């Protein structure tokens, strides 16, 4: 059994999730731009996400409300998780700072998505609630993440953990018959673009199911999720059982190979482009598998452990820009012509050849988080590279619904793309 082949793909999926890291008074700064070259670029148009404008009333309400909470999350579907400093109980606030679902829960394991959340009551019973706080159903299973595309992947603990899917009413729609994944801990597999991948480790194959549990197609190798209609698949093209020559290609939703298996590393398609690396080139390919941006870049490879194998941390385009790492190990941002828009000035945190912290993140609502190696603080830049907020936050998240939560010394506030900040120190 080629276990290394399959676990490499599992590790790659987890590595993408791990790139969203928490961590990061409000001022502003400046930046410059550089340049690069490209060949025959043809991609889909880029839509810049317009930030949701906060009213003065909402900003003032948040500023008054937040000091009484010792945990504050980003907003999802108009509500944010908070924890009361005095009671250590959790609830939800809206964008005016009003506590619309009281802080009465021991824990909130799944914030709002698809109109529902999962909370834990004082008796340790998990329940699914709607946005009014009404109890919809009890949750009586094991590990889960959050609802996605109307379904929640959950695990049933027995002799071997099995994974199934339920809808937002708590009804099991796909029985727990699939083996749960492990890579530095357990994880469940969500639906993406209406399909869910399942990896058959015993036979070095993957198959995709639809939302009824019906198998749609099967393919050789370890598959990733669908993005923009294409899914990466890792195959072992070695000549023998001991020869692990792993190469990645792409299939469509019928399982047809549309991009050949020639790449050492790939990311996922976003805005019509995908990060890829061969023995001879590195950069971004189009949907035909042709390189349209190449440069003096390198792929960051994460060591995920013996079971998971090595996993690439690959950039994606967001709002027309993508962070990339040059051969010197510094990060900057390029546009879809390959031009350097934000110079290579950000350095990652690396110790003993282990990549511990990336300095650049995707753009959301016109801003991207950045991390300063010297201060180990987070800040935000706009699409020109200008610092809207210098690196001063101990904790920070991406913009969500027009604002992002930030923290300094366990005190929390929200920032927006206009430079407003509710954090009071």
- Structural domains present in the chain: 3-416 (2.130.10)
Question: What pLDDT was estimated at residue 36?
Answer: 36
Does the structure show a pLDDT above 90 at 12?
no
Question: What pLDDT was estimated at residue 310?
Answer: 62
Higher pLDDT, 305 or 104: 104
Work out whether strand 340-346 and strand 186-187 pair parallel, antiparallel, or are unpaired.
Answer: unpaired
Average pLDDT on 165-183 reads 91
How far apart are the C-alpha atoms of 293 and 321, rounded to whole Å?
12
Higher pLDDT, 131 or 311: 131
Which residue, 182, 191, 255, is CA-closest to 218?
A: 255
Supply the pTM of this predicted model.
Answer: 0.85
pLDDT per position as a tens digit, 145-154:
899 999 999 9
Q: Report residue 85 as tokens.
A: 């400093």
How far apart are the C-alpha atoms of 73 and 412, rounded to whole Å?
9
Confidence band for 308, pLDDT divided at 50, 70 and 90: low
> Beta strands of 106-245 (E only): which ranges?
107-113, 116-120, 126-129, 135-139, 151-156, 162-167, 172-179, 181-182, 186-187, 196-200, 205-209, 215-220, 222-227, 230-236
Contact 97, 65 (CB under 8 A): yes
Quote the mean pLDDT of the chain.
Answer: 86
Average pLDDT on 270-280 reads 97
pLDDT per position as a tens digit, 56-92:
888 888 999 999 999 999 999 999 999 999 999 999 9
């Amino acid at each position: 059994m080629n276990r290394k082949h399959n676990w490499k793909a599992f590790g790659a999926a987890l590595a993408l999730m791990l790139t969203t890291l928490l961590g990061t008074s409000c001022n502003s700064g400046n930046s410059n731009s550089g340049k690069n070259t490209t060949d025959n670029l043809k991609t889909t148009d880029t839509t810049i996400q317009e930030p949701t404008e906060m009213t003065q009333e909402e900003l003032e309400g948040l500023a008054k409300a937040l000091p009484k909470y010792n945990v504050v999350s980003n907003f999802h579907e108009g509500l944010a998780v908070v924890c009361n400093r005095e009671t250590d109980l959790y609830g939800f606030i809206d964008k005016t700072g009003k506590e619309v679902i009281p802080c009465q829960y021991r824990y909130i394991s799944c914030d709002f998505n698809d109109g529902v959340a999962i909370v834990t009551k004082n008796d340790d019973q998990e329940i699914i609630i709607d946005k009014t706080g009404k109890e919809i159903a009890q949750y009586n299973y094991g590990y889960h993440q959050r609802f996605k595309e109307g379904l929640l992947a959950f695990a049933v603990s027995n002799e071997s953990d099995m994974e199934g899917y339920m809808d937002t009413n708590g009804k099991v729609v796909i029985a727990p018959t699939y083996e749960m994944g492990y890579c530095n801990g357990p994880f469940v597999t969500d639906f993406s673009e209406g399909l869910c991948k399942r990896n058959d480790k015993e036979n070095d194959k993957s198959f995709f199911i639809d939302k009824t549990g019906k198998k749609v197609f099967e393919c050789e190798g370890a598959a990733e999720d669908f993005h923009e209609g294409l899914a990466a698949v890792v195959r072992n093209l070695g000549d023998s059982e001991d020869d692990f020559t792993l190469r990645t290609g792409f299939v469509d939703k019928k399982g047809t190979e549309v991009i050949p298996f020639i790449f050492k590393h790939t990311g996922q398609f976003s805005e019509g482009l995908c990060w890829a690396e061969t023995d001879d080139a590195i950069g971004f390919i189009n949907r035909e598998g042709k390189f349209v941006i190449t440069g003096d870049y390198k792929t960051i490879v994460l060591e995920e452990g013996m079971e998971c194998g090595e996993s690439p941390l690959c950039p994606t385009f967001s709002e027309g820009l993508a962070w990339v790492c040059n051969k010197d190990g510094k990060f900057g941002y390029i546009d879809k012509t390959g031009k350097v828009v934000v110079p290579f000035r950000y350095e990652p945190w690396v110790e003993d050849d282990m990549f511990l912290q990336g300095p650049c993140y995707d753009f959301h609502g016109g801003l991207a988080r950045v991390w300063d190696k010297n201060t180990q603080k987070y800040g935000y830049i706009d699409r020109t590279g200008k610092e809207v907020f210098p690196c001063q936050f101990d904790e920070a998240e991406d913009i969500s619904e027009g604002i992002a939560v930030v923290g300094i010394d366990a005190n929390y506030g929200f920032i927006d793309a206009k430079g407003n900040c509710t954090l009071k120190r």
